[in-house]
């Protein structure tokens, strides 16, 4: 079962909460076939677990705290729930509402998020951002600066499971190559989709197949490193 943000959650089962940005969030019909990986994660949950996707387009660790989204997440959190926290795409944005520095405000925001999750009986898991599709001379490029490493340092200090999905997806893009890797992202020819009559070449956001592909990669990475986490299903 999947809950949309704003819906009350009745805890007959335990819940995995997703806290992140547009690469994870639920999409409006006018943006399809753009799909967040969080929309495709339910099949990878263990029996008795539900999914609550709180991710919102454009969020950073700064704006998730100021917008009320995190407060709603905490209000729905029950003891024993898990929260996947994935930020990094929007931290470098220049606007004051979102911008953070990787080694100061970003890490402080992450620490606050962890503290409040734990105070409410939840368990955090960190994911770095998925890679953007950017190639130079046939080689996938790192586009997220120090944010993945800063997140790792917070995870180590606070004893939080951490997956560097940015590094993993960069390796995948390299293996797929510059052309084939377009299949993961929102690349559309003119008239291929009624929502994008002029076509689209978006190297950040995922298509429906790409969202399922990334969701499976995230599941496999978490299961291979932290196989005892209770929300993990047994089917790959």
Residues contacting residue 201 through CB under 8 Å, at least 6 positions apart: 187
Question: Where in the chain does DSSP place strands (E)?
Answer: 2-3, 14-19, 49-53, 82-86, 123-127, 135-136, 139-140, 162-163, 185-188, 200-206
Whole-angstrom Cα distance, residue 159 to residue 36? 28
- 165: part of which helix (H) or strand (E)? helix 165-176
At 73, give phi and psi (nearest 5°). Answer: -60, -45
In order of start, what are the domains of the chain with their CATH numbers?
2-225 (3.40.50.1110)
Does position 6 have pLDDT exceeding 50, yes or no? no
- For 123-144, the pLDDT digits (tens) are 999 999 999 999 999 999 999 9
Return the number of other C-beta atoms located less than 10 Å from residue 77's C-beta: 23
pTM: 0.94
What per-residue confidence (pLDDT) applies to 13?
82
The burial class, CB within 10 Å (0-12 / 13-18 / 19+), for 50 is: buried
Measured torsion, CA atoms of residues 140, 148, 88, 229, in degrees rounded to the nearest 10:
110
For the stretch 158-205, pLDDT in tens is 999 999 999 999 999 999 999 999 999 999 999 999 999 999 999 999
């Amino acid at each position: 079962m999947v809950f949309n943000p704003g819906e009350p959650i009745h805890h007959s089962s335990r819940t995995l909460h997703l806290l992140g940005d547009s690469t994870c969030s639920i999409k409006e019909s006018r943006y399809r076939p753009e799909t967040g990986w969080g929309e495709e994660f339910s099949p990878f949950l263990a029996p008795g677990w539900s999914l609550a996707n709180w991710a919102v387009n454009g969020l950073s660790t700064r704006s998730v705290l100021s917008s009320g989204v995190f407060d709603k997440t905490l209000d729905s959190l029950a003891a024993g729930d898990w929260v996947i926290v994935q930020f990094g795409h929007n931290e470098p944005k220049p606007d004051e509402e979102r911008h953070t520095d990787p080694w100061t405000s970003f890490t402080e925001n992450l620490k606050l998020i962890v503290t409040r999750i734990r105070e409410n009986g939840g368990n955090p898991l960190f994911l770095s951002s998925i890679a953007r599709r950017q190639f130079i001379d046939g080689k996938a490029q790192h586009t997220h600066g120090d944010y993945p490493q800063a997140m790792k340092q917070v995870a180590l200090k606070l004893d939080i499971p951490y997956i560097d999905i940015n590094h993993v997806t960069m390796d995948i893009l390299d293996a797929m190559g510059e052309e084939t890797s377009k299949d993961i992202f929102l690349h559309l020819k003119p008239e291929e989709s009624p929502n994008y009559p002029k076509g689209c070449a978006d190297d950040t956001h995922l298509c429906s197949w790409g969202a399922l592909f990334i969701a499976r990669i995230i599941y496999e990475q978490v299961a291979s490193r932290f196989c005892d986490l209770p929300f993990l299903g047994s089917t790959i």
